[in-house]
Amino acid sequence: MEIAILALGCFWGPEKKFGKIEGIVETEVGYCGGKMSNTSYREVCTGETEHAEVVKLTFDPKKISYEQIIEYFFQFHDPTTLNRQGPDIGTQYRSEIFYNNDEQKIISLSMIEKINNKFNSKITTKVSEVKNYTKAENYHQKYLEKNRF
């Protein structure tokens, strides 16, 4: 099994979408990319921790490739809006791919270059090494499944 950590706005929707894809064996929401090793939703919302809301995916590379996951990443959000997805505004809602190794970094940068042509060079997605991942509070896990609207 391998891990992918992706920031694409509020983590509830992406967790549900990725959870339906064959090859994704587990989803978890959390915070990544900040300056503190441990944080909370309340702290992240201040913007001072520098964390992004993320979905952490455990996947079977025999069933789905990292490249395919990144393709879904770009389908599931608007990568051209800086620090925003729909009505959610702030650095915690930024578009960012957190890589775990050099292969993921290379694939991510290559996909951005490819997608950027489609979006006329307006992609704001950052690519960064995983830093200070913290699992989100239990009430955020599978939120949309537990709270049907």
Is residue 45 annotated as a catalytic residue, yes or no? no
Model pLDDT for residues 76-127, shown as the tens digit of each residue: 999 999 999 989 999 999 999 999 999 999 999 999 999 988 888 799 999 9
Give me the mean pLDDT over the 12-16 stretch. 95
Give the active site residue among 10, 29, 70, 112. 10
By the 8 A CB rule, do 80 and 119 touch? Answer: yes
For the chain, domains (ranges, CATH) are 2-138 (3.30.1060.10)
Q: Which secondary structure element, helix H or strand E, spans residue 27, and what is its range?
A: strand 24-32
Q: Where are the alpha helices (DSSP H) in the chain?
A: 12-19, 41-45, 66-75, 102-118, 143-146
Tell me the mean pLDDT in the region 33-49.
95
Going by their DSSP bridges, the two strands 134-135 and 126-129 should be labelled as: unpaired
42-77 residue pLDDT tens? 999 999 999 999 999 999 999 999 999 999 999 999
Q: Phi and psi (nearest 5°) for 16?
A: -65, -45
| pTM (2 d.p.) | 0.95
